[in-house]
Amino acid sequence: MNGKEYRIRAERYHDICFGHRVMNHESKCRHLHGHNYRFYFVIEAMEGLDELGRVLDFSVIKETLCQWLEEHWDHRFLLFVEDPYLPTLEQLSPESIVAVPFNPTAENIAQYMLSTIAPPLLEPWGCRLVECRVEETRKCAATAHINE
């Protein structure tokens, strides 16, 4: 097209609720609390658009990334595996606690989705998550993206 190269991306967002605490935070985020999170997923095809002219059907994003969030984090509580609260809270409500290998800041959550969760989910579709934005509130968000 006019000698220009284009990057076409598909985007979808998904809303879920979960709690966390940021271990060693200098302020009130060190306490147990929760948010209504919004995840924005930006996806690229590795080999160009499909035969219909799509990166990926939006329903596939819903069935992979959005469904993963629903099944693993929605209405649960994320705690860093090194958090001293973890053993007690797991004992009180084991089905509600998700131990994660990072301090659950928005930045770390976005990076974990980008680097660990999304690749195996999207690989069968020949796509990859290139950017993940995590909004904790309407005013506060963090974005992780692949540098090329």
Span 89-129, pLDDT tens digits? 999 999 999 999 999 999 999 999 999 999 999 999 999 99
Residue 126 to residues 13, 43, 47: CA-CA distances in angstroms?
A: 20, 10, 7
- C-alpha span between 108 and 106 (Å, rounded): 6
- In this prediction, residue 4 carries a pLDDT of 62
pTM score of the predicted model: 0.94
**What would the pLDDT profile of 9-29 be if each residue is shown by its tens digit?**
999 999 999 999 999 999 999
Is pLDDT at 65 greater than 90 in this prediction?
A: yes
Of 96, 98, 102, which is closest to residue 23 (Cα–Cα)? 102
**Using CA atoms in the order 12, 13, 16, 19, what is the torsion angle rounded to 10 degrees?**
120
- In this prediction, residue 148 carries a pLDDT of 76
- In this prediction, residue 61 carries a pLDDT of 97
- In this prediction, residue 3 carries a pLDDT of 53
Cβ atoms within 10 Å of 143's Cβ, excluding its own: 16
- C-alpha span between 98 and 100 (Å, rounded): 6
- C-alpha span between 113 and 136 (Å, rounded): 15
Contact 143, 105 (CB under 8 A): no
Give 7's pLDDT tier (boundaries 50, 70, 90).
confident
